[in-house]
């Protein structure tokens, strides 16, 4: 599945060695899931037990959690519900592990559409942060 472009960037994320290393690391540390549409990979995410080090400045949640890393979808399947289905699966896996908290972070800039997408999928806003280059981020959580 091709990784999309970041924001309005012109270079696919898969061309960034740092990004590829991050994706591989989270896949090795956690569990990767792929949603299919019409027999083709359509969306993916990886679940681990904690957020990435880039969020180490935020207060710890104080309870076990599952954290979604590198969610991505193939734009050909936009509107087919594969992303929502994969988020629902992540919630089921989290609950099945006896863990009550599922979290994710995302880009919070622009028109806030991505944050609203997660809210539409049962997540609520918690912490905001600024990433590298003043990249606006939002952490969201979902009780499962």
Is 128 among the domain residues? yes
CATH number for position 37: 3.40.630.30
Distance between CA atoms of residues 30 and 57, nearest Å: 22
Contact, 67 vs 45, CB < 8 A? no
Residue 56 belongs to a domain? yes
Q: Which domain holds residue 110?
A: 13-143
Number of H helices, E strands in the chain: 3, 6
Q: Does the pTM of the predicted model rise above 0.95?
A: no
Instruction: Identify the segments of the chain with pLDDT beneath 70.
Output: 1-11
DSSP codes of every residue in 8-50: T-SSBGGG-HHHHHHHHHHHHHSEEEEEEETTEEEEEEEEESS
Per-residue model confidence (pLDDT) at position 11:
67
Tokens read off for 21 = 């290393």
Residue 3 within a domain: no
pLDDT digits (tens, 9 = 90+) for 74-94: 989 999 999 999 999 999 999
- Does residue 97 sit within a domain? yes
């Amino acid at each position: 599945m091709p990784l999309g472009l970041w924001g309005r960037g012109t270079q696919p994320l898969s061309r960034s060695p740092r990004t590829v290393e991050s994706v591989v690391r989270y896949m090795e540390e956690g569990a990767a899931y792929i949603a299919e549409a019409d027999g083709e990979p359509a969306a993916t995410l990886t679940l681990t037990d904690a957020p990435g080090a880039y969020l180490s400045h935020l207060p710890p949640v104080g309870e076990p959690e599952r954290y979604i890393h590198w969610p991505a979808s193939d734009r050909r399947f936009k509107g087919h519900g594969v992303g929502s289905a994969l988020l629902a699966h992540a919630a089921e896996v989290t609950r099945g592990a006896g863990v009550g908290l599922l979290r994710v972070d995302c880009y919070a800039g622009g028109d806030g559409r991505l944050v609203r997408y997660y809210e539409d999928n049962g997540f609520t806003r918690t912490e905001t942060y600024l990433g590298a280059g003043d990249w606006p981020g939002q952490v969201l959580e979902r009780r499962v």
